[in-house]
């Protein structure tokens, strides 16, 4: 299999994403503050349009 730029970038970002998921899993207040009360209402209001 030949590796191109996209494969390399994804290979680098995967461990970073796994680390962030471990940190977020230990901080439910972070999810409550930024996702549930911040990001999700914006996403859901956008999706209601369709």
pLDDT digits 0-9 by tens, 5-45: 999 999 999 999 999 999 888 988 888 888 888 889 999 98
Nearest-angstrom CA–CA distance, 6 and 3: 8
pLDDT grade, residue 50 (50/70/90)?
low
The whole-angstrom separation of Cα 18 and Cα 24 is: 10
- Tell whether the model's pLDDT for residue 3 goes beyond 80: no
Record the pTM: 0.55
Give the model's pLDDT for residue 37.
87
Q: What is the pLDDT of residue 46?
A: 87
What phi and psi, each to the nearest 5 degrees, are found at residue 3? -90, 130
């Amino acid at each position: 299999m030949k590796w191109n730029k996209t494969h390399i970038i994804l290979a680098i970002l995967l461990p970073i994403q796994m680390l962030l998921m471990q940190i977020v899993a230990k901080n439910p207040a972070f999810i409550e503050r930024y996702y549930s009360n911040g990001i999700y209402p914006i996403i859901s209001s956008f999706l209601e349009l369709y």
